[in-house]
A and B are shown apart, each in its own frame.
Chain A
Amino acid sequence: MHPYRLVVVTAGLSQPSSTRLLADRLAEATRLAVEHPVELRVIELRDLATDVAKNMVTGFPSPTLADALDAVTRSDALIAVSPIFTASYSGLFKSFFDVLDNTALTGKPVLIAATGGTARHSLALEHALRPLFTYLRATVAPTAVYASSEDWASNGDTGLSRRVTRAAGELADLLLRRPAPAAVHDQQDRVVPFAEQLAAVRPA
């Protein structure tokens, strides 16, 4: 069978970034939990920052950005990780999902995660990221993973490791239970026959 297409979108800005570190751990844990071949693609939004801004201005993506949007659209599951800036997802993270077609994530298993300097902002996952993906009709895994500075400082079997494993297991379950991938893209050009369009405006 074809490998599952797992795409990671990470919005960390520094290099290396703790956001990317968390994204990699989630991807690896998901790969282990799926127990089938997985084809992984990591999209660093930093590399696409100007392309995303240009798309907002012109209304169309550059070839590079189009390739990334296409990969997200065609993926079987998505891991989306943002740093928490000013009490919410980063502007770049939001902008990327703003320029993504609003049907691209319909029914898609998504794992959300975030990083921050302090654990006080962990609920940003629940009041910012989760509603964003719910709006896009994604199937969001129940466990969202937040990693703050102290999580990276602790060692061994910390809460973070357990959360990563649990969240990855949930994403794997959603992925494996999902029916054959819906041809979301092909539906875009479906034409409504004109007789139906006319009938829809006729008075009853």
Chain B
Amino acid sequence: MQFGIFTVGDVTPDPTNGRAPSEHERIKAMVTLALKAEEVGLDVFATGEHHNPPFVPSSPTTMLGYIAARTERLILSTATTLITTNDPVKIAEDYAMLQHLADGRVDLMLGRGNTGPVYPWFGQDIRNGLSLAVENYALLHELWRTDVVDWEGRFRTPLQGFTATPRPLDGVPPFVWHGSIRTPEIAEQAAYYGDGFFANNIFWPKEHFIRLISLYRERYAHYGHGTAEQAYVGLGGQVFMRKNSQDAVREFRPYFDQAPVYGNGPSLEEFTEQTPLTVGSPQEVIDKTLIFREHFGDYQRQLFLMDHAGLPLKTVLEQLDLLGEEVIPVLRREFAANRPADVPDGPTHEFLVARAAADAASANAASANAAAANAAAADAAADTASVTASVTG
């Protein structure tokens, strides 16, 4: 099981003093958080992609390439990469390049983006959002797996004899998660390809996501990639901790009350009751996160949102210390207990390389069998022919 953090990269004034970081400070802070994530023993850092203020991360592979050079183990990912407004050719190239530089420590989460005005800035139309996600991913999938591609679709110029370079590291494309908060078609898409499905459940009640994840698992099995329990599920989480639960609530409340997305709405108490948000002691975070498994089954990746709503960098770094020291070790132990042996771990490049080798070996074995069967059939046919010849002769 993999644990990590994901960040939106918002520039939000700290509601307790009105101070907002500059874009430069925020970008550097995101890098600091990624380095800290590795230091405290997390597995994944994922950045959002946005093309409008108040968000800074418009160029994820630039940022992740820089982080790759300064880390050793951390898997670098996105939350999310816009499969609708980015050219799939450019995604294929950028992330393959990043994959080489990071020695395989790269995967990505695809999403559509829900901000209407962004689409025309990139020559698209939000009304085609779902169709763009379907077509662009079909092309991206092929570009990473076929060396020379002839292709024609609705949304971009055709390709004749095109090779995306560099080719994926070790011939194995980065693992892809399809992110969605409400769209069954995306769960279906993830299942069809045998890719991962990331349900960003942090702002809504669980019932909705239980339906979506069950659908994905069921369809994953339907398409023959494994059992429903073996499908790759990722979940979000949102926490604020202090040793003492009351201190956490007191400190986080002003950030909660004015947070983008849900601020000026329900109370902190209502929201923590109805969504995955946990504000309290590390033990409370552990207890709440462990419940996810009961709702959604054994899963592969848990990403926490730690740094939004104007929380100062210093505070977020303290949060990561608590997460790494007190929460994650317990979660690793507890999630490993009673986990069926055939449920896969979070996907890594090494795992994908081994899986591809195993698939190739079984394909070779199958074709050898088929060749043997063909040879036997040919012999039989020859026998029949000679019998026929002898009868007529």
Q: A201 — which chain B residues lie within 8 A by C-beta?
A: 131, 134-135, 138, 153-155
Task: Add 4 more A-B contacts to A192-B188, A200-B134 (CB < 8 A).
Answer: A58-B271, A60-B274, A201-B134, A203-B152
A193 touches which of B188, B266, B274 (Cβ 8 Å): B188
Q: Does B224 contact A (CB under 8 A)?
A: no
Which residue from A57, A60, A197 sits with its C-beta under 8 Å from B208?
Answer: A60
Of residues 27 to 62 in A, which have CB atoms within 8 Å of B's CB atoms? 53-54, 57-60, 62
Q: What 0/1 pattern do residues 184 to 199 of B give for CB contact below 8 A with A?
A: 1101110110000000
Query: For B154, what are the chain A residues with a Cβ–Cβ distance below 8 Å?
Result: 201-203
CB of A60 within 8 A of CB of B205, answer: yes
A positions within 8 Å CB-CB of B: 53-54, 57-60, 62-63, 189-194, 197-198, 200-203
Q: How far is the CA of A202 from the CA of B189 in the complex (A)?
A: 16
Give the 10 A-B CB pairs with smallest separation, nearest first.
A57-B265, A194-B192, A201-B135, A54-B266, A54-B265, A60-B204, A201-B131, A58-B262, A197-B134, A58-B265
How many A-B contacts are there with CB distance less than 8 Å? 66
The interface residues of chain A lying within 8 Å CB-to-CB of B138 are: 198, 201
User: Which residue numbers of B lie inside 8 Å of A, CB to CB?
Assistant: 130-131, 134-135, 138, 152-155, 184-185, 187-189, 191-192, 203-205, 208, 211, 215, 219, 261-266, 270-271, 274
Partner of B264 from A57, A59, A190 at Cβ < 8 Å: A57
Q: Which residues of A sit under 8 angstroms from B188, Cβ to Cβ?
A: 191-194, 197
In the complex, the answer to whether A189 meets B274 with C-beta atoms within 8 Å is no
Of all chain B residues, which has the CB nearest A195?
A: B192
Residues of B within 8 A of A192 (CB): 184-185, 188
> Are B131 and A189 interface neighbours, CB within 8 A?
no
With a CB–CB cut-off of 8 A, which chain A residues contact B191? Answer: 194
Pick the contact of B270: A53, A62, A189, A200 (CB < 8 A): A62
Contact A62 B266 (CB under 8 A): yes
Report Cα–Cα, A53/B270, bound state, in Å.
Answer: 14
Q: Which residues of B contact A198 (CB under 8 A)?
A: 134, 138
Chain B residues contacting A200 (CB-CB under 8 Å) are 131, 134
Partner of A59 from B192, B203, B263, B271 at Cβ < 8 Å: B203
- What residues of B have a CB within 8 angstroms of the CB of A54 in the complex? 265-266, 270
Q: How far is the CB of A126 from the nearest CB of chain B, in Å? A: 32
Contact B215 A191 (CB under 8 A): yes
Complex CA distance for A54 and B270, rounded to whole angstroms: 10
Residues of A within 8 A of B134 (CB): 197-198, 200-201
